[in-house]
Amino acid sequence: MSLLPPVICVVTRARGVAGSPERRALVDRLVAAATAGAGMIQVRERQLSDRALVQFVREVIDRTRETPCQLVVNDRADIAIAAGAAGVHLKEQSISAADVRTIAPAGFLVGRSVHSEEAAASAEAEGACDYLLFGTVFPSSSKPDDHPIAGVEGLRRVCARVSLPVLAIGGVNVSRARAVARAGAAGAAAISLFTDAHDIAETVTALRYALTPQLRSV
């Protein structure tokens, strides 16, 4: 599968059990984001059992089926394959993307988190990744105060170093999105930006506009 920039990736932060009002509200928000133009949903639910995770992934896939949005599962290729997801997003120190390719169906999307130029170059050299997620670019409420910040220049260096699409993560918001695009990123991913948004569809639309130079020049 291919990614068409600008890629907006909504990273989930689930609440509630299956069938609960909290879960229904979350899925409704993900559908709204996908309908508004989010190109990817990354399911990142470490607290769920394997069975519950498969069920959740299938529920979101079913509800977003009529949109172009692709769903990937964080670091669990087995769950992604079992649930029929579009792909998997690997941690920097996770299994190799090449190993995932040996068990995944054709067209399976494989991404990896990286935190340095060297890690990005290594992931590209492996030849099995479709995209990279780089951060932390800006200070983020989800990270401690002493967490290393790469900044826009760090993002720019990574984008220049590899030919794979690079998505920026960490403190990305609408006002910072233009700097992300100018640095060469193919898009952005976020957790708090979307979970805290009053209107997630409006936030996705504004972020997409800010990340798209040709739209801004009209």
pLDDT at 13: 83
Q: How many independent structural domains does the chain possess? A: 1
State pLDDT tens for residues 164-174.
Answer: 999 999 999 99
CB 176 within 8 A of CB 197: no
Report yes or no on 2 lying in a domain.
no
Report yes or no on 1 lying in a domain.
no
Report yes or no on 197 lying in a domain.
yes
Residue type present at position 208:
R
Distance CA 120, CA 132 (A): 7
CB 5 within 8 A of CB 167: no
197 vs 47, higher pLDDT:
197
- pLDDT > 90? residue 73: yes
Report yes or no on 24 lying in a domain.
yes
Average pLDDT estimate for 150-159: 97
How does DSSP assign 160-217, residue by residue? HH-SS-EEEESS--HHHHHHHHHTT-SEEEESHHHHS-SSHHHHHHHHHHHH-HHHHT
Average pLDDT estimate for 123-133: 97
Q: Which CATH number fits the domain that encloses residue 122?
A: 3.20.20.70
Distance CA 187, CA 70 (A): 14
Residue range(s) defining the domain that contains residue 195: 7-216
pLDDT at 217: 47
State pLDDT tens for residues 3-22.
Answer: 889 999 999 987 777 778 88
Q: Of 154, 155, 133, which Cα lies nearest the Cα of 3?
A: 133
Report yes or no on 201 lying in a domain.
yes
- pLDDT > 90? residue 104: yes
Average pLDDT estimate for 76-96: 97
pLDDT at 218: 41
Report yes or no on 84 lying in a domain.
yes
Report yes or no on 18 lying in a domain.
yes
The CB density around residue 115, as the number of other CB atoms within 10 Å, is 17
The mean predicted confidence, pLDDT, of the chain is: 93
Helices (DSSP H) in the chain: which residue ranges?
Answer: 21-36, 50-63, 77-83, 97-103, 117-126, 151-161, 174-182, 192-195, 200-211, 213-216
- pLDDT > 80? residue 56: yes
Instruction: Give percent above pLDDT 90 in the chain.
Output: 83
Radius of gyration of the chain (CA): 16
Q: Of 131, 107, 90, which Cα lies nearest the Cα of 4?
A: 131
CA angle centred on 170, ends 73 and 204, rounded to 5°: 70
Residue 136: what are its φ and ψ, rounded to 5°? -90, 125
The CB density around residue 176, as the number of other CB atoms within 10 Å, is 18
pLDDT at 8: 98
Report yes or no on 164 lying in a domain.
yes
- pLDDT > 70? residue 149: yes
CB 131 within 8 A of CB 166: yes
Instruction: Give percent above pLDDT 70 in the chain.
Output: 92
Average pLDDT estimate for 59-65: 97
- pLDDT > 60? residue 215: no
pTM given for the model: 0.93
Question: 7-11 and 87-90: which strand pairing?
Answer: unpaired
